[in-house]
Every structure is written in structure tokens, then in C-alpha cells.
Structure 1
Amino acid sequence: MSLGFSVDQLLPKARGGGQLQMGLARVDEREWLQPDPDRVARAEGFADYPEGIQLAPEAEAPGLELAAMLGLAGSLSEAAAAHHEDMCLLTRREGEDVYRLVGAAVAWPSDWRPAQKLGLSLTALHAPIHGYAEQLASGVDHFMERLEAGKIFGRCNWFIAPTRARRWVAEAPERAFARVDAENAGETLFVRSERQTLRRLPETGAILFTIGVYVEPLGALSDANVAMLERAVRSLVAGEGDRRGAGAYAAALIGYATRRGLGTGT
């Protein structure tokens, strides 16, 4: 399956609201990573955010394996710098059944700080996501346990942000979206989509998690995608809407969709 490499291509494969789902699809090796990364932008991203590289001792061997697999000298940091995608490594400690984050090379995080996540289990990593422990944790753990080397799986998500910056740290929604209304939402709301993939490294058995970040203004998206977002904002599950700051931008997004003739009520 091809997930695509743009917001417009990714959104139709993303969850549009309701109960949390992994939403994984098999990805062909040829579709694994973006084929034309902007290495200058990647270098600038890491230079501006050096704390995005966090490495525990357990990341050394899988990092070397990853770089070699990609035809590079170095480790995790060099692999991520040479590609569009941020990259994370997860392994299990001896005597444990859970996977933990042991390495991160993240230039463009979506409202998280790798230094605060290093060493955490999957459940702890996803603690801010409302409903993860109840709806997804056991399924994710089962998938990670059974993931075979050579197979790649992908998924995508979306956020509404007040900036097109690729590195995004959320602020209080009431302040971030204070100037957004139905008339200007096409230019002041930005749709941020992460193209995520998972694969097991064959030698070390570590799991590589890649995150490709794509951002576009709401007004640049297709009618079908704006309509999907309008429906999704209306149906966000309780709690998730709060985490996403939906209360501060929902009316503007819905109003914008209506102005384009795409609202649920039109």
C-alpha cells in the first residue's frame, strides 16, 4: 500500500474520529521512506534542536545496524539526518516483555520532548493520549511482539496546528488559536500529518519507528479532506478533543468548511 508523501495523500488513510485504532497497513519497501529528502532542512532542524537526539546505551548496536542497512556510515543520528523522517529505536530489556524507547533522532517533534521520553515503555510514552491504555495498549504490545523482520507497516494521523513550522510545541489553545475565525481559517489553521512506519531490524531485533512530518494550510487541501476534517472535529471522542485543543478552533474550521460548501449541514 502507498500512504503517500503529502497531507492530501495521507489524510484519506487517517482516522477521522471515534475510537482509537492502530490503522496499520502493509507498506512496500519502495514506499518506505520519502525518496527525495531535503537534507539541508534536516541539518537545520537538528542544529536548531540538538536535544532532539537522545541515545541510551542500548541504541548503539541497532543504530549501527540501521545506518549500515541504509548504506551510511554512523548510527541513528546519521540515518535520520540523511532522510526526511525522524527515527526512533525501541528494544526490550533482559527480563522484560515491554518495549522501551532507547534512541531518538527527532528534528521535528509533534508536541513531545525526546529527553522526557527516553527509557519509557510504550504505554508510558502514549500516556497523554486519551484512551490509549484502555483501547490500544494491549493491541500495540501484541503487534510489536509478532512483528517480523522484513515486513513494514505504516499509518498516519493528523493534528490541527496554528503554525506551519515542522517542529511544533503546543501552547494554550485559547492563545494559539485566538485570531482564527471562519473567514481566515484557510490561512491560519494548518493541518499536520505524521506518516509513521514500523519495522524490525533483522540482526538486533530492535524496532525502528519512523515519523515523516507534513504540514499544509487548511485552505490548500482538497474538498474531500476539508470535509473529512469537518466531520472529524465534530465527532472527536470525549477527552481527545481537549488534548487536541479542538474547542479553540472547531467553530472556525466548521465555519470555514461551510463557507466552502462542505459542511455537514450544507
Structure 2
Amino acid sequence: MTLGFSVEALLPHARLSGPLRMGLHRLSEEDWLQSSPDVALRQAAFDEFPQAVQVLPEAEDAEAELAAMVGISGGLEDAARDIWEDLCILTKAEADAPYRLTAGAVAFPTDWHLSDKMGLGLTDVHAPIHGYAEQLAIGVDHFMTTLRPDQIFGRTNCFIVGNSDLRYLPPASPEARFAGLSAENAGQRLYIRCERQSLRRLPQTGAILFTIGVYVEALGMLSKEALAKVSSAFTDASQGEHDRRAAPFYAPILADYCTQKCQEE
């Protein structure tokens, strides 16, 4: 089993509710990155937002290794401009030190700013995610320590959002973003945003590369099978995570819409 490169393909593997989990899948080299990226969109995003690329000095060797790995002459930004995925590099100062985010080229963030995360360890990077420290931190740290250079793992995140922006940094409050939402217009007003993430170790520097490919689809464009999956979103999420995702402003309407569509002939 592998992960596809669309919302429909990724949804079956996404955690929409329940306890936090890594949900990892082994990927082959051929299935690692999207083979036909829209490079023009990537170029435009990096041109408009130069702050989307940041590299700390301790990541420079890993930056060069990554560029060579994907066949690009240059550095992290050059690599990220030529592929669909955003790129983050995690390094250790010492063997027993925690991994820290020391480089990133993030054109299409999902409600976070690279500058806020730079230099932080994994637990602090994930601090806004309710339950991460208690449910995932130990397992993630073990995985990162034991990841071999010959392995590639992928996973999927999924979000319900109020627009199709690839660069999702909504300035408005949840009340404003979802104002006027109803079961009648949810198919056009709500979007499913999936992040296709991967992790692999760079063999020379030992740094870990974390990639994020973003895919967005209007709710009304999904198949009934996908809607059935979405309809259960956040039914048993923790209250903190429920609120962080602004679910109280759309979850009941989302469930009503999915139920109606799944019952149609």
C-alpha cells in the first residue's frame, strides 16, 4: 500500500478523529515525490514570500546534500522551487541532543509560520497540537532516532478549511470564516486540505528530511466514499483539538451535508 497524490487518494489514510497517531506507510523511491509538479505555482509563491525559506548555519551541509539528492544545483530554495513538496530539515547538535528544525522552504503552510518554528525541538514545534506531548512525542523521538537512510515513510494529515488557498494563513476569526455556512452551500464553501508528508534520513549528514505536499479539493467534488470518511470527522477528537481546528463552527453542518449526499441515489 502506498499514498497517492490527491485528496481522494489520501483521505483513506488520514486521521480525522480519535487519538493522535503517526499512521506511517512505507514508500518506495518512485512514490516519494509527486512526479509532475506545478512548478509555476511554486515559483510564484517563493517569489512573493521570500521569508518562506530559512536556513540556520548548522543545516547548510544537509541543505547541500538534499539538493544533490533531488538532482538540483543549488540549495534548499532551489530544490523546493522545482518540486511540489515543501521541505524541512531536522538536525541534531550532538548525538544525544533532540532534533531541531534548522532549515525550511515552506511555500504552502497550513496555519503556521516558519519563523515561529525555526530552531525549536519537535515537541515545541508541535506545541499547538493538543495531546502531542502526551500521546506522540516519545514515539516520534524513537522513530526519528531509529530511521535508516534506506527507508522512506509517509503519512497524511487532513483538515477542513474555508478556502482553497494553497498558502493557508487565514487572518479572519473562525466565526468570520464560516459565517453563513449551511448544509446547502457546504459543498462550495468547505474544502478538504490534505498534507502528504514523508520522512527520510539523509545518508551523509544524518539529518532528517521532512516533506509536505499539499492537496485541496472542494467538499462538493468528493466521491460518496470520500464523503463517508469525512462525515465522521472530529466525532471523538479531544476538546482542545476540536477547538484548534475550529470544528464547532462547521462540524454539525459538515455531518449533515455528508449524510444528505451519501443518501442520494
TM-score range, shorter chain: over 0.9
Match of 1:158 in 2: 158
Evaluate the alpha carbon distance shift between residue 262 and residue 17 of structure 1 in structure 2; reply closer, same or farther with a 3 A threshold: farther
Please give the TM-score of this superposition, normalised by the length of structure 2. Answer: 0.96
After superposition, the CA RMSD in angstroms is 1.3
Q: How far off is 1:234 after superposition?
A: 2.3
Q: How far off is 1:95 after superposition?
A: 6.1
The 5-angstrom pairing of residues 239-250 of structure 1 reads 239-250=240-251
Q: In the comparison of the two structures, how many residue pairs are matched? A: 263
The code of the aligned residue for 1:38 comes to: D
Match of 1:230 in 2: 231
The CA distance in 1 between the partners of 2:27 and 2:207, in whole Å, is 19
Q: Deviations over 1:95-123 (max 9, x none)?
A: 64210000000000001100111000000
Asked whether the 8 Å contact 2:228–2:262 carries over to 1, the reply is no
Match of 2:132 in 1: 132
Match of 2:57 in 1: 57
The code of the aligned residue for 1:157 comes to: N
SS at match of 2:239: coil
Q: How far off is 1:76 after superposition?
A: 1.0
Larger displacement relative to structure 2 (102-111 or 168-177): 168-177
The 5-angstrom pairing of residues 2-17 of structure 1 reads 2-17=2-17
Q: How far off is 1:58 after superposition?
A: 1.3
The CA distance in 2 between the partners of 1:234 and 1:174, in whole Å, is 20
Q: Equivalent pairs: percent with the same residue?
A: 52
The 5-angstrom pairing of residues 133-148 of structure 1 reads 133-148=133-148
The CA distance in 2 between the partners of 1:115 and 1:71, in whole Å, is 27
Please give the TM-score of this superposition, normalised by the length of structure 1. Answer: 0.96
Q: How far off is 1:227 after superposition?
A: 1.4
The CA distance in 2 between the partners of 1:7 and 1:63, in whole Å, is 29
The 5-angstrom pairing of residues 76-87 of structure 1 reads 76-87=76-87
The code of the aligned residue for 2:75 comes to: S
The CA distance in 2 between the partners of 1:161 and 1:16, in whole Å, is 13
Evaluate the alpha carbon distance shift between residue 227 and residue 32 of structure 1 in structure 2; reply closer, same or farther with a 3 A threshold: same
Structure 1 moving runs of 4+ over 6 Å: none
Asked whether the 8 Å contact 1:26–1:151 carries over to 2, the reply is yes
Match of 1:33 in 2: 33
Which structure 2 residue ranges, 5 or more long, are not aligned? none
